[in-house]
Structure 1
């Protein structure tokens, strides 16, 4: 086989590998839950690229091994050693520089995406165990809040989630307007919890005593499920909440309805805790007693000014 034909076949095989790897990387999008936020698109793009790179490497290695087995098999009873490649400087540089550059590029892309996710409050967590005290004015640039259309307070405890909206309505469901940046100011009331919505591609620890801000930009309307990604005790499986992404009109309408008609906040952990035990033997294991369900707090009544009270008295 001439040297030109050999190089042509290698180049053709690499081209085929690139096409197949790109196709496999594109298929990786379907392996994950649907993208519901702009942040999920960034994460999925990196995952697709890593899948394509992994497919290219594994198919290339398998192809090289199959080619070697078919065309470079040693004859029977031939126990001589193959030609050493340790002295090939070009090969050494290639298989050292290529993986190094690839890993550095992947690390940079991961860091860049993490910066774009706009998670605040982590600097405070890092300083929590730092023995040296830093001046209060030494704020990091990453802890400067980026603009958002509105802020929703998120409270988590054993064993439920609750959300307080700008008009002071409190609910056990998270409602988000589509295509609008919403800041989630998250607070843990007891132990370490984790905010996790698979369709958001976001999984963020919530540390007691620390305010963790997370900005999301929903892009797909629908109903999703918020989960606690950290094991936190007996009723861990019940630590979920419904997430509704809706149009701005539907979101404002829900806020108005919730403000006028406060609803009882359901807590499945309380329902299970109050049920009689179904086993004959009591384990005596310690468990945290869930708090009774609360009533969703609506907005406080508007205070009337002296002029408004005078007008009302005159009308009556």
Structure 2
């Protein structure tokens, strides 16, 4: 009878643990920045699932320790050794099989979600154009990238982001129409950079000498911040750009306005570079001197284009 009550207690605890773990996993959605793309929803689903699994494991271990203290506590002055775990075939199989099944389950869940991202076109459009090579797609070669509504050229260098739109308007701000698939064709002029907007949940390396495409589908209007996720030197923290997700009408109005007006945006790296050093001793380390940004509607320098296009 006592053994039956113990099993009943364990079963009840597992049921409660599943409910609590699921609740914690749902709370994980609020720990991340606001979802702003269709791709972000899939990534957050994976994060929530992993959080639920982690909560179940840690609470389960705590429960096992508490259970052992309550039901397997040694009597006073009993210094004899307990049942040896080494050499016990059942225990060996249990703690080998359980982590194996858990890892395979997590791998399957992750693969399933990333397959859903491929349906959205993410895996199909991350490809590299290299000299004398065909585009290398992340899925089967007979699959073709889904069409995007618009293509925006992204140029990055130390210490500046710039964007060229279909009407040849060049800006230091990224504007995207909401609920439309937009292809970002990215070029790095000098060193390795990384395109990262936390709310988009997409991070893509930009390799010098290669054109790298990334399709994004914004779902929430607002203003976001583009960061370079790779450390690249002295002014790394200042290398950001504003990202505006807006309605199609607002996007078209901005394009028309940008085409007619020439605006200049302050480059914070230039301001920092022009100030006297705030340290007592000069390190003598080499750093790239930032250049003042050009006007918003100016054309992208041809040297940048040549540095990012493959030679054939």
Secondary structure at the counterpart of residue 151 of structure 2: strand
Q: Which residue of 1 aligns with 2:211?
A: 211
Asked if residue 36 in structure 1 is aligned to residue 13 in structure 2, the reply is: no
TM value normalised by structure 2:
0.84
Q: Is 2:127–2:212's contact at 8 Å kept on the other side of the alignment?
A: no
Q: Is 1:187–1:211's contact at 8 Å kept on the other side of the alignment?
A: yes
Q: Is 1:25–1:49's contact at 8 Å kept on the other side of the alignment?
A: yes
Summarize the Cα distance change of 1:289–1:58 in structure 2 as closer, same or farther, 3 Å threshold. Answer: same
- Work out the CA distance in 2 between the residues paired with 1:103 and 1:290: 47
TM value normalised by structure 1:
0.83
Q: Which residue of 2 aligns with 1:312?
A: none
Q: Is 2:155–2:162's contact at 8 Å kept on the other side of the alignment?
A: yes
Secondary structure at the counterpart of residue 48 of structure 2: helix
- Give runs of aligned pairs for residues 275-294 of structure 1, distance below 5 A: 275-278=275-278, 281-294=281-294
Summarize the Cα distance change of 1:110–1:194 in structure 2 as closer, same or farther, 3 Å threshold. Answer: same
What residue ranges of structure 2 are gaps of 5+ in the alignment? 300-312
- Work out the CA distance in 2 between the residues paired with 1:65 and 1:255: 63
Q: Which residue of 1 aligns with 2:182?
A: 182
Q: Is 2:128–2:212's contact at 8 Å kept on the other side of the alignment?
A: no
182-191 or 285-294, larger mean C-alpha shift: 285-294
Q: Which residue of 1 aligns with 2:201?
A: 201
Asked if residue 255 in structure 1 is aligned to residue 259 in structure 2, the reply is: no
- Work out the CA distance in 2 between the residues paired with 1:265 and 1:81: 74
Asked if residue 15 in structure 1 is aligned to residue 15 in structure 2, the reply is: yes
CA drift at 1:141: 6.2
CA drift at 1:290: 1.2
25-34 or 99-108, larger mean C-alpha shift: 99-108
Point out the structure with max Rg over C-alpha: 1
What residue ranges of structure 1 are gaps of 5+ in the alignment? 129-134, 300-316
Deviation per CA, 1:23-43: give whole Å up to 9, x if none: 111111111111111111111
Secondary structure at the counterpart of residue 244 of structure 1: strand
Aligned-CA RMSD value: 2.5
193-202 or 274-283, larger mean C-alpha shift: 274-283
Q: Is 2:128–2:213's contact at 8 Å kept on the other side of the alignment?
A: no
Deviation per CA, 1:177-208: give whole Å up to 9, x if none: 11111111111110011111111112221111
